[in-house]
Amino acid sequence: MKTTLTKTLKDLGVREVNLGTSTGQEFFGSGNEISSYSPVDGKLIGKVTSTTKEDYEKVIDSAQTAFKTWKTTPAPLRGEIVRQFGDKLRELKQPLGELVSYEMGKSLQEGLGEVQEMIDICDFAVGLSRQLHGLTMHSERFGHRMYEQYHPLGIVGIISAFNFPVAVWSWNTALAWICGDVCVWKASEKAPLCSIACQNIIAEVLKNNNLPEGISCIVNGDYKVGEYMTTDKRIPLVSATGSTRMGKIVSKTVGERLGKSLLELGGNNAMIITPDADLKIAIIGAVFGAVGTAGQRCTSTRRLIIHESMYDKVKNTLVDAYKQLKIGNPLDENNHVGPLIDTDAVKMYEDALAKAVAEGGNKVVEGGVLSGEGYESGCYVKPAIVEAENNFEIVQHETFAPILYLLKYSGGVENAIEIQNNVAQGLSSAIMTNNLREAEAFLSHAGSDCGIANVNIGTSGAEIGGAFGGEKETGGGRESGSDAWKVYMRRQTNTINYTTDLPLAQGIKFDL
Ligand code: NAD
């Protein structure tokens, strides 16, 4: 393991102590060091210097300069750079996937899957670079033409969460770059080495193409470095992924200067299991959704809303399935569940379980913290299942850990939908049913109020082709596929007069 990892870090240009600020190829930084410990074995992987205000100013200067060149580069040529970046990611998929897995703690399969998402969004963006379409309209005036265009915005600030330490950056950058924007990224202080690795990869592509520094920049540090970006008028768009708590602050700060924010925040995702569900897929979907990435996906399944006629059967099958879960080193593909990100997250897990019981919940799968050989980092917990009520305070709250709440409904599917919608968050939702009426009701305007609504698929995971994001306290932002690119551009309406008269709109006369 150690030898593979050393090679992995070397392949990605990650050293023991890394300068954490970059305007392109050059890395610098004189701020405090942030240590990155692996939740897998508790070992120190490397250190990164945080970005000082002075370093930050250098980054913004460089990004502003690069924007002048980049915005005038034709979009398909920008797409060509993203294509080369995608190819580089294909080459480095294994080492980057390993680093993601080791620094964040998700399974190697999921680490590799995350890099695959980066490759997929690059492919998507390359095609899109020839399709940044605006509409044409008919003018009400004779001899006039009207149409709209999308122009680059400028600097896009990206603030990302620990749980998708590389993919979220690429969802934003691949689109922002083809749109003609330049990007400044602040990764989570819990996974800073991933940002160093990604910057090294794109730096080589930019260098090979003689492009200026500043198209891709990174800064590192905690929320204070994030605040440099949210308060900075030179950044027209801040894309922030993380907790609802963070999103409320970012939205207010960016809003005060009338900047735009794209918010991808917490979820409280539910799966409805109706009497017409195919139990085989429902159980697999529920277990993967609840325990995959140790419950640390924004789309993790937190609540199961089960019809009373199926309740005991589903509960007993789940309890049996949980007995088969193997918990341990996520780089070992025999394990299903890896660690939480750090011991603070373990404390939150324990507190949430205690609170659920204090509110009247009944643990049907006990949970608990693991210790001893293989669990030295102190970050490994057992997935838990609790019978609960939707109105419990703790059930209303997103706990970023493998805790699944079982909720019972009776009567028609509308009652299950009401329970599912009755939380503050609105990210992902799913219904397991073979009943067409139930499925359509769930997807209708009176159905799920989430940004993602699935039928016979779990809540967890999404394809890059669709727009990704959620409603209510999830923040309302959309990233990735469909027309999510529009947020990275400014829309301009153009009217052209090709006559010798100057007719005014709405028939207004103004004669001199
Ligand atoms: P977090 O909110 O603690 O941190 C996220 C990022 O925000 C970090 O880079 C952090 O430094 C920065 N930050 C925090 N406060 C800030 C401030 N005041 N100003 C500027 N930046 C600030 O979240 P986390 O623990 O890293 O990630 C877990 C959360 O992220 C969960 O709630 C999860 O649901 C959510 N998430 C959402 C999505 C989505 O697409 N909806 C995707 C991944 C994660």
Domain boundaries, given as residue ranges, for the chain: 1-265+475-493, 270-455
Question: Residue 512: its pLDDT value, please?
Answer: 83
| Positive or negative: CA dihedral 110, 238, 254, 194 | positive
**Owner of token pair 């945080």:** 50
Q: What pLDDT, in 10s, does the model give residues 423-448?
A: 999 999 999 999 999 999 999 999 99
Q: Which of 114, 264, 438, 479 is catalytic?
A: 264
Mean pLDDT computed over 80-98: 97
Question: Residue 4: its pLDDT value, please?
Answer: 78
Tokens encoding 306: 């089960």
Closest to 403 measured CA to CA, from 291, 246, 249, 480: 291
CA 315 – ligand 1 centroid, Å: 32
Tally the residues of the chain: 512
Which atom of ligand 1 approaches the CA of 242 most closely?
30
Under 8 Å between Cβ of 463 and 457: no
Confirm whether pTM is higher than 0.95. yes
What type of residue is 441? Answer: A
Question: Residue 3: its pLDDT value, please?
Answer: 63
**Which superfamily is assigned to 1-265+475-493 in CATH?**
Aldehyde Dehydrogenase; Chain A, domain 1 (3.40.605.10)
Q: How far apart are CA 324 and CA 319, in angstroms?
A: 9
Which atom of ligand 1 approaches the CA of 249 most closely?
18
Known catalytic residue: 264?
Answer: yes
Tokens encoding 7: 């090679």
Q: What are phi and psi of 195, to 5 degrees?
A: -70, -35
CA 470 – ligand 1 centroid, Å: 15
DSSP 453: E
CA 313 – ligand 1 centroid, Å: 37
Mean pLDDT computed over 49-58: 98
Closest to 181 measured CA to CA, from 261, 126, 235, 258: 235
Which atom of ligand 1 approaches the CA of 341 most closely?
25
* DSSP per-residue codes, 88-151: HHHHTHHHHHHHHHHHH---HHHHHHHHHHHHHHHHHHHHHTT-----EE--SSTTEEEEEEEE
Mean pLDDT computed over 136-153: 97
| pLDDT level of residue 358 (50, 70, 90 thresholds) | very high
CA 245 – ligand 1 centroid, Å: 8
Q: What pLDDT, in 10s, does the model give residues 289-346?
A: 999 999 999 999 999 999 999 999 999 999 999 999 999 999 999 999 999 999 999 9
Tokens encoding 477: 């932002």
Question: Residue 461: its pLDDT value, please?
Answer: 81
DSSP 201: H
Q: Is the pLDDT of residue 234 over 60?
A: yes
Q: How far apart are CA 161 and CA 191, in angstroms?
A: 9
**Owner of token pair 């990174």:** 218
Question: Residue 2: its pLDDT value, please?
Answer: 56
| pLDDT level of residue 1 (50, 70, 90 thresholds) | low
What type of residue is 197? Answer: A
Q: What are phi and psi of 405, to 5 degrees?
A: -100, 130
- The best mutation among 219, 230, 298 to test binding of ligand 1, ranked by most ligand atoms within 8 Å of the C-beta, falls on 298
First and final CA of the chain: distance in angstroms? Answer: 83
For helices 93-104 and 192-208, angle between their N-to-C axes, nearest 10 degrees: 160
Mean pLDDT computed over 265-293: 98
What residues flank ligand 1, with Cβ below 6 Å?
Answer: 159-164, 186, 188-189, 222-223, 226-227, 230, 241-243, 246, 249-250, 264-267, 298, 398, 400, 427, 474
The three-point CA angle 376-382-383 to 5° equals: 145
**Residue 506 Rama label (left phi>0; alpha psi -120 to 50; beta):** left
Q: Is the pLDDT of residue 477 over 90?
A: yes
CA 196 – ligand 1 centroid, Å: 19
**Which superfamily is assigned to 270-455 in CATH?**
Aldehyde Dehydrogenase; Chain A, domain 2 (3.40.309.10)
Q: How far apart are CA 50 and CA 48, in angstroms?
A: 6
User: By percentage, how much of the chain surpasses pLDDT 70?
Assistant: 99
Under 8 Å between Cβ of 431 and 442: yes
Under 8 Å between Cβ of 183 and 156: yes
Tokens encoding 86: 């995608």
Question: Residue 6: its pLDDT value, please?
Answer: 81
